[in-house]
Amino acid sequence: MPAGINFNLNGNEMLYTGSPEARLLDVLRDEYRMTGTKCGCREGECGACSVIIDGKLANSCLVAMGSIDGSGVTTIEGYSKTARFAALDKAYESVSAVQCGFCIPGMILASECILAATPHPTEDEIRTGISGNLCRCTGYNAIVKAIGIAAEEGDGLW
């Protein structure tokens, strides 16, 4: 048996020695006390627990710890220290895109993945990019608008 699971979390090298079948979501929230990653369903449907694993958006409730050995994981706690976050944050703020906020950490990380793949996305590309992240409050208009604003205002960041 190897000594544990090595992965990078928000730039820090981590050694996880617990059960490889534990959910990444639970390890983040309960063991590392990083509660910015939210739990909306534990079934991979709502996207509130979205994190970025090796550049791809993933529902952390469906990720077993055993599967992330050698991977890089970014949560909102790490991402919120970046210049890209600052651009998204400002854009979300400018259109008041945050209501109850429970979907928002996941939504911000989904926004990052859209812009990382397509720095100047169309409205359809934005909508598709957040289609795995449910928001019950906004009807999505403001969030879609915010991502478009971030793409313009943050030109060059992505």
Partner 1 sequence: MKPISKSVPKIDHCAKTRGLAEYVCDYDATGMLYGRILRSKHAKADVLSINLPAMPEGYDFIDHRRIPGLNRVHIVQDDTPVFAERTVEYIGDPIGIIVGPEEREVDRLLACIEVEYDILTPEFDARKSPVAFFEYGYEKGDIAIAFAHADRIYEESFETGRQEQMYLETNGMIAEYAQGKMLVHGTMQCPYYVHTAVAEATGLLPEDVIIAQDVTGGGFGGKEDYPSVLACQAAVAAYVTGKPVRVVLSRREDVEFTSKRHPAFCDIKAAVKDGRVTAMQIEAVYDAGAYTTMTPVVLQRGVIAGGGVYSIENLKVKGEARKTNTVPSGAFRGFGGPQMFFAVEMMMSHIAKDLGEDPLDFKLAHTAKLGDATSTSGMHHFNVPLPAMMDEVAQACDYRRKKEAYADQQGRLRKGIAMSAVYHGAGFTGIGERDIIKAVVRLRKDKDGYAEILVANTDIGQGLSTAFTKIVAQELGLPFDRVIIKLPDTGRVPNSGPTVASRSVMVVGELLRRAAARLKDEWLDGEEQVIEERYVHPDFMITFDIDKFQGDAYPTFSWAATAVEVEVDTFTGDIRILGAWGSYDIGTPIDENIAVGQMEGGLVQSLGYGMMESIAAVNGRIRNNSFSDYLIPTAVDFPAVDVSLHVEEYPEGPYGAKGAGELPLVGGAPATIEAIENAIGVKLSKTPFLPEDVVKALY
Contact positions toward partner 1, by CB under 8 A?
A: 29-30, 33-43, 45-46, 48, 75-77, 80, 85, 88-89, 92-93, 95-105, 108, 123, 126-128, 130-144
CB of 42 to partner 1, least distance (A): 7
CB of 145 to partner 1, least distance (A): 8
State how far the alpha carbon of 112 is from the alpha carbons of 9, 27, 100, 107, in Å.
17, 23, 20, 9
Considering beta carbons, is residue 5 or 106 the nearer one to partner 1? 106
What's the CA gap between 59 and 45, in Å, rounded? Answer: 8
Considering beta carbons, is residue 45 or 153 the nearer one to partner 1? 45
Considering beta carbons, is residue 17 or 141 the nearer one to partner 1? 141
CB of 70 to partner 1, least distance (A): 25
Handedness of CA 18, 68, 40, 84 (dihedral sign): positive
Considering beta carbons, is residue 70 or 113 the nearer one to partner 1? 113
State how far the alpha carbon of 5 is from the alpha carbons of 15, 33, 34, in Å.
6, 18, 18
What's the CA gap between 144 and 130, in Å, rounded? Answer: 9
